[in-house]
Structure 1
Amino acid sequence: MQFASTARCVSLVRTQVERVLREWGYASSGIDTAVLVASELATNAVVHGHLPGHLFEVGVVSADDICLIVVSDSSPRPPQALEAGADDESGRGLQLVRAVALRTGQRPHRPLGKTVWATVHMAKQQSRTASSASLHATGRGAEAGEGRVS
């Protein structure tokens, strides 16, 4: 997914990531964590990775109980965790991502910029009844296989 490099688009990132993960059948707790990670990485792309005329990209990939969130922007500067003071209202995003993610990292993004990524643990939504489980298996959920990408 591509977004304009504006603060307003960070809420669109949260909405899209949540929608995709719900469609894939994940439980709310994992979705909340993934949305938090996507939001923090997208915010960093907007605040620190913005170059005029360039979009930033967000990708979500899942396999079994792991979700990979990737955010690419046009700045080659690597992300740096800040030491936020007790009264600071920002500067804790990367620390927060590292605290809730299984793994984090970065890599160059071609032709320009960088990609910052994080993996989070995901659990499937529990079916309430056998009939809802069979409906899910024959409905929209059946089209989403292993290694889904959005």
Structure 2
Amino acid sequence: MQFASTARCVSLVRTQVRKALQERGYARSDIDDAVLVASELATNAVVHGHFPGHLFEVGLAPSDDTCLIEVSDSSPRPPRALAASADNESGRGLQLVNALALRVGQHPRKPVGKTVWATMRMAHGREPKNSPTHWQVTAACTGTADGRVL
């Protein structure tokens, strides 16, 4: 899934990830955790990985009991957790990701940027509607030069 690097597109990331994981039949609480992780990684891509004219990408690779979430952006800078105090309103995203995920990592992305990934434990809550090994989502969120989302 490709998205414009705008804050408004992060809500579409949450919607698309939730829809894809529900189709797979995962348990609701695991879906909620995976959506939160995808949202935090997408927010970091928008806030810290934004380069004008470049999209960020979100990928999901499910298996029976895990789901790999990948978010790629155009910045080569690796993510780093901040030491947020109780008074800070932000800075806890990677701490949340690390607390919820089984494994977290990052690697360079060719030709430019990086991919940050998290593997989530996923249990089934019902039979899946279908069982793709990787989702291709056609919905995209694109923005205009004046910040409007199309």
TM-score in same-fold range (> 0.5): yes
Mapped partners of 2:63, 2:131: distance in 1? 11
Mapped partners of 1:24, 1:86: distance in 2? 37
Q: Percent same amino acid among aligned pairs?
A: 70
Residue 85 of structure 1 and its aligned partner are, at CA, apart by 1.3
**TM-score (normalizing by structure 1):** 0.87
Give the ranges of 4+ consecutive aligned residues of structure 1 lying more than 3 Å apart after TM superposition: none
Residue 54 of structure 1 and its aligned partner are, at CA, apart by 0.1
Mapped partners of 2:95, 2:117: distance in 1? 14
Residues 1:144 and 2:117 are matched in the alignment: no
Q: Which runs of 5+ in 1 are unaligned?
A: 127-132
**Counterpart position of 1:110:** 110
**Counterpart position of 1:129:** none
| Number of residue pairs the alignment of both structures matches | 135
**Counterpart position of 2:45:** 45
Residue 87 of structure 1 and its aligned partner are, at CA, apart by 0.5
Residue 71 of structure 1 and its aligned partner are, at CA, apart by 0.1
The alignment yields a C-alpha RMSD, in angstroms, of: 1.1
Q: Secondary structure at the match of 1:149?
A: coil
Q: Secondary structure at the match of 1:35?
A: helix
Structure 2 counterparts to residues 19-34 of structure 1, below 5 A? 19-34=19-34
Q: Which runs of 5+ in 2 are unaligned?
A: 136-150
If each structure's helix is expressed as a fraction of its own residues, which one has the higher value?
A: 1
Residue 95 of structure 1 and its aligned partner are, at CA, apart by 0.6
The one-letter code of the counterpart of 1:102 is L
Residue 86 of structure 1 and its aligned partner are, at CA, apart by 1.0
Residue 29 of structure 1 and its aligned partner are, at CA, apart by 0.8
Deviation digits for residues 54-84 of structure 1 (CA, Å, limit 9, x no counterpart): 0000001111100100000000000010011
Higher relative contact order (CA 8 A, sep 6+): 2
